[in-house]
Structure 1
Amino acid sequence: MDRQHVAALLNYAATVDSRVRRLMATQEQAAATIRSWAEALAHIPAVAEAVDWDASRAARRYYEQANGDRSAQFRPIEPADLLAAWAPFRAELMNRHTDPLPAVDPDDVTAWRAELLGTRYAVAHGQQPPSEHKALTSDPHPDVEARLSEIGSCIPPHVRGELASYRPGRVAREAALAAGQPDPLSVRCDWCQAPKGQPCRSRRTGPDGVARSNARRITPHPSRADLAAAQHRQEAAV
């Protein structure tokens, strides 16, 4: 915010707080107040559309929330209050920002770093919107949908066959589902505490009680299979 922005903000705050008006009673006081505020708020934008930030609205919220904060009831708004209000908006901007590839020569480390930091600085201070990854906002291409409906999977059958020897657990699970049997991984394992969707574990402990291994099992524990079968029978009976 520059001095013009700060002057407009203080003028707005003075309409709801007479204490701010007293800070601006004389021309010298007004100039000193505007100068000190501008120095403190130099890295805060007056408006940042990317995160719906407006400094005047932040000042308004300060007084609206003062009813629940006794310390705020006895003093006018200060630059620190706006700094605290801007902090979560700044964090949101940086969380959404993904560093774009600098346009300079990557062998020029100094220029590369300077452009990267300059972009981050501009985003963090509301000078430009964050550079975000493009999200998928449409359905798959018609050619992809046609192929998926034809083969029933994004993995072609011949590739699935070649992968079978590397995924014996998944192959056994898919065969059981194809045969109409319940999926053991649809329930939590009471024996090894494996959550739903995760394979069982073979935990071995030494004489001292310390776990020595925690390997995945190809087949689930029998008690888990029994529990899945019981749940399947209950659902079929409903």
Structure 2
Amino acid sequence: MDRREIAALLAYIGRLDPRTIRTDEGEARYQVDQWHALLGDVPMATPYGWDARVAAHQHIRTSQYPILPADIGRPWDSYKRDRLSRHTDPTPCVDPDDQAAWTAELLGTRRAVAAGYARPAQDRAITSGRTGPDPHLQRRLREIGSPIPPAARAALAPLRPTRAAREAAVAQGHPDPLGVPCDWCQAPVDEPCRRRRVGPDGTTRGGALMPAPHPSRLDLAVQQAPQHVPA
């Protein structure tokens, strides 16, 4: 709050509790200076639930003692702690390799949430809680078959060709070659094969990712695929 907001808050408090009114001009100026020094970082009100006048009203209504700046500062600190405890950092929109921008966006979001100018991002509320996953969410996932909408999956396909080819093969009824490890390049499950060259001395060379799996890996996937026996 700036000095004008502090003066407005004190005028509001004075209407509720005349004991806080200062009739001498010097004392009134000192009172504004004192409250501004202690509450300068506290907003008068925010879009999401904080209002210093509500905190003042609550104190005057429930306490027999004259209000002090601490009676506004304590509720404000509790308000910030509560909002941050309900906030889950969303993934920043900037390049993750730009550490400075990544950190700045995280901190900026937290400050906005703590200051009451943004809603807490409660991503955990989708799948956590004592009652278990949201039934509506589970039903929706069963309908679309994936947490990634089809339109988003199509847009991501050019950016991850290996994943797109794997999904297309599975959709056509072919076995998933990345569902088994590769005995040639030693690629584990869910990771693409790598080029593997054996030098004259017997050492393995190479390591570039391959757009398609090794033939032996595909054969192993066919062997381990469940066999559907006609009824």
| TM-score, reference length from structure 1 | 0.49
Higher helix share: 1
| TM-score, reference length from structure 2 | 0.50
